[in-house]
Amino acid sequence: MDYSSRNLHNTAVSRNLGQRIRARRRDLRLTQRQLADLAGIAERTVIAAEAGRPGLRVGHLAQILGVLGLDLRAVRSGDRLADGD
């Protein structure tokens, strides 16, 4: 199934993801612009992801997480992000 046009709408999950994305980006000493360029997406998409704005396309989220070396596990109650290592 192609998830690239699907959107993430859960606000609590979006906020949690945003916090982890920002923290990992900073750990890697990347700017939002650099992350966007590496992920092949617009800087405003990275800004929206870090702000936890719902409605982020799952495909864009996957691109961001891939660059950061993170993966999304189990989207259900108790959602969590885990390092890909």
What CATH number is associated with residue 39? 1.10.260.40
C-beta separation of 16 from 61 below 8 A = no
Give the tens place of pLDDT for each residue, 4-45.
Answer: 445 555 677 788 889 989 999 999 999 999 999 999 999 999
Global model pTM greater than 0.85:
no
Residue 2 lies in a domain: no
Residue 82 lies in a domain: no
C-beta separation of 66 from 39 below 8 A = yes
C-beta separation of 32 from 67 below 8 A = no
Give the tens place of pLDDT for each residue, 40-59.
Answer: 999 999 999 999 988 888 89
C-beta separation of 60 from 45 below 8 A = yes
**Number of structural domains found in the chain:** 1
Residue 40 lies in a domain: yes
Q: How far apart are CA 71 and CA 27, in angstroms?
A: 16
- List the domain range (segments joined by +) for residue 31: 7-76
